Structure 1
Amino acid sequence: MINLRRSNERGSVDLGWLQTKHTFSFANYYDPEQIGFSALRVINDDLVHPGSGFDTHGHKDMEIISVVLEGTIAHKDSEGNVEQLPAGEFQLMSAGKGIFHSEFNPSKTENLKLLQIWIEPNTFGGKPGYQQKHFGKKFGITTIASPDGRENSFTIKQDASLHQLVLEANSELKFDIEPGRKLYVHQVEGSLKVNDVTLSQGDGAKVSNEPSVLLANHSDKQIVALVFDLP
């Protein structure tokens, strides 16, 4: 079964310095039908104006992944990490027993576009952690985060994996799903067919009770999506 979450149905917030789309209920946006999907709790599609950002704030017991689509994030946290994340980089912050951080767009002229993803952990109260890496844009599936850090991916505190999918023009890939597990596909760039359902930029697909999905790019351009393998 595949249930669609269309981009134009997401929660929308405009704070002037920030425009964001919420795939799932978040902050002042609440939809009882969109609380999350399995351990996936948040996908926020953010646009941050030049010289603006999120002031220092705290998190606890959450796995927080940021994906920079355009521009640069200036990151600072209470564990002493002071980093810059340019476009194409991924960051995993394991909040553990508690961490404070800020995220800022240091540019005076360019917007910052990013996806912020929250995954609920299966262990709680541990030491906060920080991981950052550029995984490139290799064709096919690249594992970004996994429980065991396989294939040089981030190590995440949940029985879940995040993959980057890159398909060249007129290509396809079969993704097998283990019994009892679920898949969430978030379309980042271009148009993707998930079995017989078409996703455009910002769309999502909740996949359950399927042995596999066929992921197909029928266009003449490269496409990018995120694939979450969930318990």
Structure 2
Amino acid sequence: MKKTIHRNDTRGHAAHGWLDTCHTFSFANYYDPERLQFGALRVLNDDSVQPGMGFGKHPHDNMEIITIPLFGDLEHKDSIGNEGVIKEGDVQVMSAGKGIFHSEKNHNRDKEVKFLQIWVLPNKQDVEPRYDQISIRELSVPNQFYQILSPNSEDQGVWIHQYAWFFMADLEAGKSASYKLNGDHHGVYLFVIEGQVKLVGEVLNKRDGIGLREIESVTVEASEDSCLLLMEVPVSKKD
């Protein structure tokens, strides 16, 4: 097993007044050659946007972009006709493919919106852009990992153009949950949204992350009530 730990206070950080953002991997003006990506996981941004503010219209291509609001609601509008609100408790996926423009804005006028935005490198280039959004509240199972994303359109959750699986878990203090990987050339990246957990001999706190390679499964134990995001992605070129 190989592990890489990214502590909360080692992430890249930028404060723009309307936007406060932390970058687990190199992004925008934050560059660390040791933190370019974890396999196909290229971006893990932890964003807070002030009321009524947001990102204006901007382009993307050949990237799978996943957005998970943690607090508050986010407006979305894109060049393929989608317009709406991504609410707390939802997950949104956008396959940028051969090119798409979109904008994101805090829908709320009285509170900030906090969300994770994740970019995954696709396994197909120049696909037709697509968009999907679902509520994941009804998928939640206490003290277990539950799937919110996969490569398969018929599976639970949303899907992307990559052999990747995303799971979340809401663990009560003292409870544990296990996860078995789908591919032997895959790795998992675990991000602690809230709480404190123990795994592979390490203690991780709120907003810490750990990447694990050369493992078949992992068990996570919560030291306190915790919310987790687990992302399984290819870490070699076999997929």
Structure 2 length-normalised TM: 0.92
Other structure's SS at 1:91 match: strand
Give the corresponding residue for 1:215: 220
Other structure's SS at 2:9 match: helix
Match of 2:153 among 138, 144, 149: 149
Give the corresponding residue for 1:174: 178
Other structure's SS at 2:36 match: coil
Deviation, structure 1 residue 150: 4.8
Equivalence map 1:40-79=2 (5 Å): 40-79=41-80
Match of 2:208 among 203, 208, 222: 203
Alpha-carbon distance in 1 for matches of 2:87, 2:60: 23
Deviation, structure 1 residue 190: 0.8
Moved more, 112-121 or 152-161: 152-161
Alpha-carbon distance in 2 for matches of 1:74, 1:212: 37
Give the corresponding residue for 1:228: 231
Q: Which runs of 5+ in 2 are unaligned?
A: 235-239
Deviation, structure 1 residue 211: 2.6
Letter matched to residue 92 of structure 1: V
RMSD: 1.2
Q: Is the 8 A contact 2:85 2:107 kept in 1?
A: no
1:112-137 Cα shifts (integer Å, max 9, x gaps): 10000000001011111111011113
Moved more, 152-161 or 53-62: 152-161
Task: Give the aligned length.
Answer: 229
Equivalence map 1:5-154=2 (5 Å): 5-136=6-137, 137-139=140-142, 140-154=144-158
Letter matched to residue 162 of structure 2: Q
Alpha-carbon distance in 1 for matches of 2:200, 2:179: 10
Alpha-carbon distance in 2 for matches of 1:85, 1:22: 21
Letter matched to residue 53 of structure 1: G
Moved over 6 A (4+): none
% identity of equivalent residues: 39
Change (3 A) 1:182 1:150: farther
Q: Is the 8 A contact 2:90 2:133 kept in 1?
A: yes
Other structure's SS at 2:189 match: strand
Deviation, structure 1 residue 144: 1.2
Deviation, structure 1 residue 155: 1.5
Other structure's SS at 1:152 match: coil
Give the corresponding residue for 2:237: none
| 1:191 partnered with 2:192 | no
Deviation, structure 1 residue 151: 3.4
Moved more, 195-204 or 34-43: 195-204
Give the corresponding residue for 2:164: 160
